Amino acid sequence: ALAIWHQLTKYEIPELSKSSVLMRDRKRVEEIIQSMHRAGPSALQVISDFDMTLTRFAHNGKRCPTSHNILDNSKLISEDCKKSLKELLNTYYPIEIDSSRTVEEKLPHMVEWWTKAHNLLIQQKIRKDLLAQVVKESDAMLREGYKEFFDQLQEHNVPLLIFSAGVGDVLEEVIRQNDIFHSNVRVFSNYMDFDENGILRAFKGQLIHTYNKREGALLNAGHFQELQDRHNVLLLGDSIGDLTMADGVQNVENVLKIGYLNDKVEERKESYLASYDIVLEKDETMDVPNALVRLIT
Ligand code: TMP
Ligand code: MG
């Protein structure tokens, strides 16, 4: 039976043979997929990061914006403020992706980055009614194959949790404008709090940054309680911090972790291979997630 399965996977998942696909333990990956396939769509849930996971890292050699960058680059922000936000990015992004520092070392820097960036945004008195237009005018781009991904999950009633340290209002607008904000989609993120005139005055709730998603997951126990019959998790991320997004899931049977390795590829390959089951190196498509969802559902 195993021999047949091997033939089947080769036959049915040619995407896993793409040169961008790296695996520490291919056999283990195949076993997990096989088990998820047997359990079917009713046992599946998908948890995905947003920025640089569902959206592209680059297109035609040019970097694509994160949900924060969509605001930062927009007409809602003054030139002075753009400069300050850029300085923050230049200071803290290298720390975020530095493979020589531990997550513990990075934590205080991430809190500092998000806090400073949010305070700058608040000072700009951003208007809620202009967000849709700003997203429309931005270079935001979902990965190739995004529509099949969202549509397949909707069609098979598989819940999709988008778990993002970006800006919830902005990312919701991105998925709305791409016509994929289906009823099976839930979002955990940093949401803006507007005053009675529709002007940004704060961010709501507990701050989510790249490396505290575990706490975020545990705070939202109720969501995972509702999905407690879904023992199989497909997890998609691009940061080492995304690995903890499924920590709130109850009675987990299998978690298949797919990691997009977008930047500093050579430096980070080893650590990504050690912690993600499937690593997608400089792959701007949803080909592999789509193939897996197609097989499981
Ligand atoms: P994610 O966890 O949903 O991918 O979102 C976090 C990304 O947002 C992370 O890679 C850093 C990025 N970011 C900005 O681009 N600008 C900012 O001001 C902040 C605070 C984060
Ligand atoms: Mg990300």
Ligand 1 atom with the smallest distance to the CA of 113 is: 20
What pLDDT score was predicted for residue 11? 47
Does the predicted model carry a pTM greater than 0.90? yes
Q: Check if 72 is active-site.
A: no
What pLDDT score was predicted for residue 201? 98
Q: Which of the residues in the chain have pLDDT under 50?
A: 10-11
CA 51 to ligand 1 center in whole angstroms: 7
Nearest ligand to the C-alpha atom of residue 92: 1
Ligand 1 atom with the smallest distance to the CA of 69 is: 15
Q: Is the CB of 164 under 6 A from ligand 1?
A: yes
Q: Is the CB of 289 under 6 A from ligand 1?
A: no
What pLDDT score was predicted for residue 196? 98
What pLDDT score was predicted for residue 8? 56
Ligand 1 atom with the smallest distance to the CA of 93 is: 11
- Cα separations in angstroms, 192 against 21, 47, 110, 175, 188: 37, 22, 19, 17, 12
Q: Is the CB of 69 under 6 A from ligand 1?
A: yes
What pLDDT score was predicted for residue 1? 56
Does the ipTM exceed 0.90?
Answer: yes
Condensed to tens digits (0 to 9), the pLDDT of residues 207-232 reads 999 999 999 999 998 999 999 999 99
Q: Check if 247 is active-site.
A: no
Q: Is the CB of 166 under 6 A from ligand 1?
A: yes
What pLDDT score was predicted for residue 13? 86
Q: Is the CB of 117 under 6 A from ligand 1?
A: yes
